[in-house]
Amino acid sequence: MNKTDDRRRTTNIALWIVISAVVTFGLVALLVNIMERKQEARNPFYRVVEITDSTDDPTIWGKNFPLQYDQYRRTVDQVRTRFGGSEAMPRTPDDADPRSVVSQSRLEEDPRLKTMWAGYAFAVDFREERGHAYMLEDQTYTERQRVTQQPGTCIHCHASVYVAYKQLGEGDIRAGFEKLNQMPYQQARQHVKHPVSCIDCHDPETMQLRVTRPAFIEGIQKVKAAQGIESYDVNQMATRQEMRSFVCGQCHVEYYFQGQEKRLVYPWTDGLQADQILGYYEKTGFQDWTHRETGAPVLKAQHPEFEMWNQGIHGRSGVACADCHMPYQRVGALKISDHHVRSPLLNVNNACQTCHRWTEKELLDRAETIQQKTFDMRGIAMDALIELISDIREANQKGIDADRIKEARSFQLKAQFLLDFIEAENSMGFHAPQEAMRVLGLSIDYSRKGQVVLSRSRKSQVSLSR
């Protein structure tokens, strides 16, 4: 054996040692990785604090459910979609309103809204809705609060109100509801601390979904009664999939304040469609305010997302609100609902593509085509309504006979409510495209009928069919 051979042998052995060391290193790394993945799959839940039926503070729930809480907090994001979403606008805080950021004003985007709501607080301040995180703050400081005295009823949907109801009603949420409704807003505001929170939708024992809003419990009872289901108890009888829409329907609905007690009622006795709701209001003679320019008794429609979803193909197919607005998401080995509630158009991958196997662009295009068409039709209906309002105003000045003015005003009420139903609904027609078009078509028809009533000569006047 010479020296060269010896050196070669040493090098060879060293090389093999390096190779087997690298292999061992890799194997151990893989082993640890597999162990970590197995650990993930164990589905850990650490109960670090006790949550009771009186815990309304989401930070406490967040200690046990950090993943969901983290997502929930992201509703502070302000992101625009083509027809909705909100944009952060800087604002100089003042004594009456300490907010330094708000969203864009809808009244500035479309000044016709001011004419439609003339004489009502919405004509003073109406901005694009921001995420859940802002619901209480934005309601507390909107200028609408300063031009009119709002009742405590409003809190029903702008705060985590379940614990407050329970305390005021000494355990009975309905009794608490009645009490809080009748307080002035500012007084009721003292009883709540947080925007919508975990306890508003979840049972603290089982984490199962539950409805906590008395107005929805009563409202859905009416809907089910019309379908022949007597004494429906939503928390006992609804399926899990239904609950994934019902908890949202607690608030994303059309409503009114009934009587002197300002009791919150969902007008669903005759059905969930816009014209059925309108019919209910006409039957009961309810009016929100008297239009300042025409003297017509009129109604304000409010965010009827639940009603419109019910008329659409997704609702019909059993797709729940949460399926698109809180789609399932994998975190480690856990499959959880995304608690960052937002427009599906900002989350097409998880929200749409789970069922619809087309590209993100194709799906966005489809949604925006529906929205653009609804938006165009909404513009036509808005113009028709503005023309009717202008005609009634003129007729008031001319002093034509009172019956015709009264009839034209009743057409204004119909046209305005139906248009506002689509305008106030936060999907620009997407939740139920054909229904949105039908309702806007009805609205245009009523506006034009109102104009015809005023323009006809007295001789040929025949009451138009409604």
Partner 1 sequence: MRTPPLGLFLFALLAGAAIGVGAYTFIYARGSSYLTDNPAACANCHIMTSYYDGWLKGSHKNAAVCNDCHTPDGIVSKYASKASNGFWHSFGFTTGRFHEPLQIKSHNQKITNAACKKCHETIVESLNFHSPSSPVSCIQCHASVGHL
Binding site for partner 1 (CB under 8 A): 9-10, 13-14, 16-17, 20-21, 23-24, 27-28, 30-31, 33-35, 37, 40-41, 330, 333, 335, 349-350, 353-354, 357
Nearer to partner 1, 154 or 320 (CB): 320
Nearer to partner 1, 22 or 313 (CB): 22
What is the dihedral sign for C-alpha 201, 204, 208, 210? negative
Report the alpha-carbon distance of residue 201 to residue 250 in Å, rounded.
Answer: 9
Nearer to partner 1, 175 or 336 (CB): 336
- Shortest distance, position 319 Cβ to partner 1, whole Å: 13
3 state DSSP class of 80: strand
Give me the residue label for tokens 């909100």.
Answer: 86
CA geometry: angle 414, 315, 325, nearest 5 deg? 100
Using an 8 Å Cβ cutoff, are 149 and 185 in contact? yes
Among 120, 122, 119, 117, CA closest to 105: 122
Nearer to partner 1, 364 or 386 (CB): 364
- Shortest distance, position 355 Cβ to partner 1, whole Å: 9
Nearer to partner 1, 357 or 458 (CB): 357
Q: Tokens for 267, please give them.
A: 């007008």
**H or E, element range at 323:** helix 321-325
- Shortest distance, position 349 Cβ to partner 1, whole Å: 7
Give me the residue label for tokens 């009794």.
Answer: 175
Nearer to partner 1, 30 or 237 (CB): 30
Nearer to partner 1, 1 or 462 (CB): 1
Using an 8 Å Cβ cutoff, are 222 and 78 in contact? no
- Shortest distance, position 439 Cβ to partner 1, whole Å: 33
DSSP track, 91-139? ----SS---SEE--BHHHH-THHHHHTTTSGGGT--B----GGGHHHHH
Nearer to partner 1, 359 or 455 (CB): 359
Residues 6+ apart with CB under 8 A from 414: 278, 282, 442, 443, 446, 466
- Shortest distance, position 79 Cβ to partner 1, whole Å: 21
Nearer to partner 1, 36 or 108 (CB): 36
Distance from CA of residue 164 to its chain's centroid?
22
Give me the residue label for tokens 């939503």.
Answer: 234
Residues 6+ apart with CB under 8 A from 70: 62
Q: Tokens for 254, please give them.
A: 């059309």
Report the alpha-carbon distance of residue 466 to residue 464 in Å, rounded.
Answer: 6
- Shortest distance, position 24 Cβ to partner 1, whole Å: 4
154, HSE (Cβ side, Cα atoms, 13 Å): 21
CB-CB neighbours of 452 under 10 Å: 15
Q: Tokens for 14, please give them.
A: 């060293």
Nearer to partner 1, 330 or 398 (CB): 330
- Shortest distance, position 41 Cβ to partner 1, whole Å: 4
- Shortest distance, position 335 Cβ to partner 1, whole Å: 6
Using an 8 Å Cβ cutoff, are 390 and 268 in contact? no
- What are the beta bridge partners of residue 102? 89
- Shortest distance, position 345 Cβ to partner 1, whole Å: 17
- Shortest distance, position 173 Cβ to partner 1, whole Å: 36
Nearer to partner 1, 357 or 398 (CB): 357
Report the alpha-carbon distance of residue 437 to residue 227 in Å, rounded.
Answer: 26
Report the alpha-carbon distance of residue 136 to residue 120 in Å, rounded.
Answer: 21
- Shortest distance, position 1 Cβ to partner 1, whole Å: 12
